Amino acid sequence: MYRSHNCGELNISNVGENVTLSGWVQKSRDLGAMAFVDLRDRYGITQLAFSNEKDAGLMTSAQKLGREFVIQATGTVIERASKNKKISTGEIEIEVSDLKILNKSELPPFTIEDETDGGEDIRMKYRYLDIRRNPIRNNLVLRHKVAQEVRNYLSNVDFLEVETPYLIKSTPEGARDFIVPSRMNEGQFYALPQSPQTFKQLLMIGGVDKYFQIVKCFRDEDLRADRQPEFTQIDCEMSFVEQEDILGIFEGLTRHLLKKINNVDVAEFPRMDYATAMKLYGSDKPDIRFDMKFGKLNDVAKNKGFKVFDDQELVVGISVPGCANYSRKQLDKLIEWVKRPQIGANGLIWSKHNEDGSFKSSVDKFFSTEDLTQWAEVVDSKPGDLILVMAGGIDKTRKALGDLRLHMAETLGLRDPKKFAPLWVVDFPLLEWDEDSERFHAMHHPFTSPKVEDMHLLATDPGKVRANAYDLVMNGNEIGGGSIRIHDKNTQATMFTHLGFTEEEAKKQFGFLMDAFEYGAPPHGGIAFGLDRLVAIMGGQEIIRDFIAFPKNNSGRDVMIDSPATVSDEQLVDLSLKLDIKK
Amino acid sequence: MYRSHNCGELNISNVGENVTLSGWVQKSRDLGAMAFVDLRDRYGITQLAFSNEKDAGLMTSAQKLGREFVIQATGTVIERASKNKKISTGEIEIEVSDLKILNKSELPPFTIEDETDGGEDIRMKYRYLDIRRNPIRNNLVLRHKVAQEVRNYLSNVDFLEVETPYLIKSTPEGARDFIVPSRMNEGQFYALPQSPQTFKQLLMIGGVDKYFQIVKCFRDEDLRADRQPEFTQIDCEMSFVEQEDILGIFEGLTRHLLKKINNVDVAEFPRMDYATAMKLYGSDKPDIRFDMKFGKLNDVAKNKGFKVFDDQELVVGISVPGCANYSRKQLDKLIEWVKRPQIGANGLIWSKHNEDGSFKSSVDKFFSTEDLTQWAEVVDSKPGDLILVMAGGIDKTRKALGDLRLHMAETLGLRDPKKFAPLWVVDFPLLEWDEDSERFHAMHHPFTSPKVEDMHLLATDPGKVRANAYDLVMNGNEIGGGSIRIHDKNTQATMFTHLGFTEEEAKKQFGFLMDAFEYGAPPHGGIAFGLDRLVAIMGGQEIIRDFIAFPKNNSGRDVMIDSPATVSDEQLVDLSLKLDIKK
């Protein structure tokens, strides 16, 4: 038996007990006549006490312990002289009578502390040491708890977790698949699922009625910062439902999680249609923890002799609270910020709404106080606020101002990680035009049902058709998205046609689903949450990497195990493959 | 709203209520003036009633409904004239006032009944229809329940579910890996995990303390019947434990599952060492629901002038209860059975232990009544039993007699699927000699710790070294297996040497783990359960395919989606690969 208790459970009520603990040496303090060792495990830290007077031999052993040594200590729980009120074990210590080194440790390449001196790269290489640190370990605990709560909540309302296959078939629609050569089927390949979409629809056709699965999904994308080639979804589907049923169930789940895990009560989630979200926030995932809604200034800012505005599709502004006192330098920095390639704006116009009600703008030459007063009304600014205005093409300008809005909120501390502001964004367009391929792509995916009332536009003006699709947005992040699906073969065939599939292609890739629609497919719909992001946001952060036990870097590498790697020639021969390296 | 209730929840207490149900037409009976439709969903069947008198139009619509049509019916719950006591909804029916066809159905290619007319192949192709059948659906429900219970049980005793990566690195040890070409790392490959073994060990080094994960694993093996290229493990690991701790926890889990799911109480699991299991049952996964232990007959059957026995390593028999009355024809069939290539025995000797205490054997010429009486004592036969004896090399003969033992038990109905007889098999050999490669292989895996008391044999007689390894066996199936792991670098290096790794190979493949051992690795060990098989056995069956939503066939194909399949040339070019088909 390696231990009678863990390092987080002993307290004043255990005084006098003989106990055995095992764990890692967090740190030791040698006071000459006495020595103290902080013994750490997943559950906490317990202080071990040694003294020359009691046992000089043990004292010598204790003095030789290095950081991260794995030891086993037996002794008596005693009350501490100087108590540490910050930890639950802080009132006691162990007067050690027996000490055993279970394993030594080299000096770790970075400190195992909440604030470590290790950089990102070294922490990734030694991820197993990084996981010993409280912040990372707590993230994994949080992730476990969230997953457990999701499973229990959904199971309690009759959802079945059903495992769908990982070795499926490659379909070119959407992102790139990871493919897996089949040895037994020469020249053929499986693909790893980008999502279990078609399988969960087949489960609905199979009468499973309510399905969920916490499942790994895979996308071979050029990785943007904080994207992972493998990621985890909470994947859900229900039969005999309309959009309202889905929103109800999963709003309930989200509210339950926030209450149970974060102890936060959230009111009914607001709903916002896609068009409004784009108009007011320049984003389909608005952060509504704070205001700063867009105000469209075309009517009051164009045709006043300021050429920069006159020719543009959109002139639009926000009112940044309490920033009227920004210095010239601060304003210049903002202008630089929006001109960076990531934002790509041509410039930024500002107007200070001074405390005394007067205005001072970067365009005083062109706009009168009356004009600027009108601006202030449109963007709903108050004395003391700073009005920021951008102009240009609608989509690009909205995007840029949306980014600026978030930046200002960040700067002002308005993106409070302890505050949760979920909302539903609904009525997404069914299709979006892709300039590169000169055809429509499915905005959600090809199985999303058009809104009945827009069906008549599908043939004449497909870009105008709205979908029965919805996103759950929280704190400026999409944490879930879904749709009511098509469940009849004809609509699905029409959809494939609009997406540029030939009948043959559609049949080759999705024939099994089209066939299944012939045998009594029920109306159905679903949603998928990104577990990595959900957990990160619930943990008050936005970097998903720190909420994944063994993440990959931006080149898709696991630097700890050094993967991917070359394989043997025999393996390739078995798979009937040859490398074809481009030099 | 598609429904107010599901098809399994209405009963006599709902009489008079106006309800809406949705589901599939299970069957309909047209009695001329009246018609009845059985409406089915996941939860049950509710009878819909139509009559010419009440509504001739509706009656006509009802008469046109085909099997598996998806419909929505609104009406009043009324008490049935002729009640069906077998189902919970059997006392009521719905007097339908409104009927809507939500989707039509072609005639399914097989009947959606508990006993279907569909063969294996057609059921696999239309798996979504097969899932509508109660037996398959109930298996999926059972699987969900087992997984939920496992998660809740382990979470309650401080285990954390941690997701380990699916895109890892290929290691030639063990079975073949499925590999995944990396586009971003030209000429390099990921591998899909055969198990999360090294990652769970790294989690222990990372201080996670108690880990589990229900996780897909992958093996590119030539598939024997009822093996799947992707399968699910309940993967577990604990720190600061000895073998006894692991057996305790997971015996508790297994007992909990049997109680909670099957409502069966199981006593403390017996322990049997590997050597005993092989000696008494000819198998390391003995089915102990019944007796028929092996009796070694060398001393009483050799050197009696019967050449067939004299030259053999082992003469061994079992006593089959109550089969002394087997006819010549039945005995000949048994002899044929053991001579089939799957068993590969040269023959079978029998001795009937008659009700009157006399013996009649196939070798009466060579053996006296005294001899046969001695046989009977060794194999513990009683009057009325049939003694079956085989002879040959130890391993092969034990294997053959073990198979025969199971066959006899099957024939006699002794393999009761409602009875659960778990046991621990312990003290496995650490290494097994492989004739092909002329070297030792790890019997469990290369990370398994040798028994301390056998360590001295590692250099001199490695085949004799026993491992701290254990299997959980139930009803003749291995449902779990694990070991205490090596946690120091030197032992691990020695182990790799014994397995024929050069230092360089060991470093290339497992360098990250060897490195990790340098930074304070705790003593640790674990176990993995095969979820597919566990669920099958708990469901009273042994075919895992019926407990997997979308299984693959013996060629690793998913015949429903027709995968694996060819991919486009562009995909291969992106991955710097060329096909190299052997013709």
Read off the pLDDT of residues A357-400 as tens digits, 9 standing for 90 and up.
Answer: 999 999 999 999 999 999 999 999 999 999 999 999 999 999 99
Buried b (16+ CB within 10 A) or exposed e, A295-333: bbbeebbeeeebebbeebebbbbbbbbebbebeeeebee
- Domains, chain B, in order of start with CATH, read 12-103 (2.40.50.140), 290-414 (3.30.1360.30)
Give me the residue label for tokens 């640190």.
A133
Identify the DSSP state of A52. T
d(CA B554, CA B533): 17
Question: DSSP characters for A404-434?
Answer: HHHHHHHHTT---TT---EEEEE--BSEEEE
pLDDT band at B173 (very low <50, low <70, confident <90, very high): low
**Nearest residue in chain B measured CA to CA from A579:** B577
Q: Which stretch, A563-572, B8-17, B454-463, has highest mean pLDDT?
A: B8-17
Instruction: Examine residue B564 and say whether the peptide bond preceding it is cis (omega within 30 degrees of 0).
Output: yes
Q: What residue ranges in A271-428 does DSSP mark as E strands?
A: 271-273, 295-296, 314-320, 349-353, 359-361, 386-392, 422-426
Structure tokens at B18: 């106006």
Measured in degrees and rounded to the nearest 5, phi and psi for residue B411 equal -60, -40
B564·A189 Cβ contact <8 A: yes
Name the residue among B2, B128, B169 with its Cβ closest to that of A206: B128
Average pLDDT over residues B488-510: 89
d(CA A158, CA B144): 11
pLDDT band at A47 (very low <50, low <70, confident <90, very high): very high
- The strand order across the sheet containing A230-239 reads A160-161, A210-218, A230-239, A524-530, A477-484, A469-474, A422-426, A271-273
Helix, strand, coil content of chain A in percent (nearest 5): 30, 25, 40
What sign does the dihedral B287-B289-B290-B293 (CA atoms) show? positive
pLDDT band at B437 (very low <50, low <70, confident <90, very high): confident
Task: Count residue pairs from A and B with Cβ separation < 8 A.
Answer: 365
Tell me what pLDDT residue B176 has.
92
Name the residue among A42, A518, A578 with its Cβ closest to that of B208: A42
Tell me what pLDDT residue B435 has.
81
- Please enumerate in sequence order all residues whose Cβ is within 8 A of that of B115, keeping only pairs 6 or more positions apart, or say none: none
Say if strands B70-79 and B92-103 run parallel, antiparallel, or are unpaired.
antiparallel
Structure tokens at A301: 């800012």
Are the C-beta atoms of residues B272 and B424 closer than 8 Å to each other? yes
Chain A residues closer than 8 Å to B103 by CB: 487-488, 517, 520-523
pLDDT band at B498 (very low <50, low <70, confident <90, very high): confident
Average pLDDT over residues A254-280: 97
User: Which amino acid, one-letter code, is at A378?
Assistant: V
Q: Is the pLDDT of residue B500 over 90?
A: no
Chain A residues closer than 8 Å to B143 by CB: 162-163
Tell me what pLDDT residue B200 has.
98
Name the residue among A571, A576, A581 with its Cβ closest to that of B582: A576
B168·A561 Cβ contact <8 A: yes
A131·B206 Cβ contact <8 A: yes
Partners of B50 in the β-ladder:
B35
pLDDT band at A501 (very low <50, low <70, confident <90, very high): confident
Mutation target among A179, A186, A509 for the B interface, most CBs of B within 10 A: A179
pLDDT band at A433 (very low <50, low <70, confident <90, very high): confident
Q: How far is the alpha carbon of B245 from chain A, nearest alpha carbon, in Å?
A: 8
Tell me what pLDDT residue B458 has.
83
- Is residue A309 within a helix (H) or strand (E), and if so which, with residue range? helix A307-310
Q: How far is the alpha carbon of A442 from chain B, nearest alpha carbon, in Å?
A: 21
Residue A251 CB: number of other CB atoms within 10 A?
17
Q: Is the pLDDT of residue A173 over 70?
A: no
A261, burial (CB in 10 Å: exposed 0-12, middle 13-18, buried 19+): middle
Average pLDDT over residues B343-364: 95
Structure tokens at B503: 């230092």
What confidence tens digit (pLDDT) does each residue in B276-287 have?
Answer: 999 999 999 999
d(CA B126, CA B111): 12
Tell me what pLDDT residue B79 has.
97
B424: left (phi over 0), alpha (psi -120 to 50) or beta: beta
Q: What residue ranges in A475-576 does DSSP mark as E strands?
A: 477-484, 524-530
Q: Is the pLDDT of residue B172 over 80?
A: no
Tell me what pLDDT residue B441 has.
86
Q: Is the pLDDT of residue B491 over 80?
A: yes
In this predicted structure, which of A412-426, B162-176, B340-354, B546-560 has the lowest mean pLDDT? B162-176
Instruction: Tell me the average pLDDT of chain B.
Output: 95
Chain A residues closer than 8 Å to B209 by CB: 6, 41-43
Percent of chain B at pLDDT exceeding 70: 99
Chain B residues closer than 8 Å to A40 by CB: 207
What confidence tens digit (pLDDT) does each residue in A333-366 have?
Answer: 999 999 999 999 999 999 999 999 999 999 999 9
B402 vs B223 pLDDT, higher one: B402
Tell me what pLDDT residue A223 has.
72
Half-sphere exposure of B133 (CA within 13 A, CB side): 21
Structure tokens at A150: 């999701």
Residue A63 CB: number of other CB atoms within 10 A?
14
d(CA B403, CA B406): 5
Half-sphere exposure of B89 (CA within 13 A, CB side): 20
A434 vs B197 pLDDT, higher one: B197
How many contiguous H segments (helices) and E segments (strands) does chain A have?
17, 23
Are the C-beta atoms of residues B544 and B532 closer than 8 Å to each other? yes
d(CA B3, CA B46): 13
pLDDT band at A505 (very low <50, low <70, confident <90, very high): confident
Tell me what pLDDT residue A583 has.
63
Give how far Cα B116 sits from Cα of A206, B541, B543, Å: 15, 18, 17
Are the C-beta atoms of residues A424 and A348 closer than 8 Å to each other? no
Name the residue among B180, B185, B241 with its Cβ closest to that of A180: B180
What's the distance, CA A163 to chain centroid? Answer: 23
d(CA B292, CA A270): 69
pLDDT band at B499 (very low <50, low <70, confident <90, very high): confident
Chain A residues closer than 8 Å to B236 by CB: none
Tell me what pLDDT residue B261 has.
97
Tell me what pLDDT residue B583 has.
63
d(CA B299, CA B280): 16
What confidence tens digit (pLDDT) does each residue in B244-256 have?
Answer: 999 999 999 999 9
What sign does the dihedral B3-B7-B13-B15 (CA atoms) show? positive
Q: Is the pLDDT of residue A159 over 80?
A: yes
Q: How would you write B108-169 as a 3-class SS string?
A: CCCCCCCCCCCCHHHHHHCHHHHCCCHHHHHHHHHHHHHHHHHHHHHHHCCCEECCCCCCEC
B74-B79-B81 Cα angle (round to 5): 115
Are the C-beta atoms of residues B574 and A176 closer than 8 Å to each other? yes
Q: Is the pLDDT of residue B434 over 90?
A: no
Q: Is the pLDDT of residue A444 over 80?
A: yes
Chain A residues closer than 8 Å to B104 by CB: 520
Instruction: Tell me the average pLDDT of chain A.
Output: 95
Question: DSSP characters for B331-371?
Answer: HHHHHHHHHSTTT--S--EEEEE-TTS-EEETTTTT--HHH
Structure tokens at B371: 């001899």
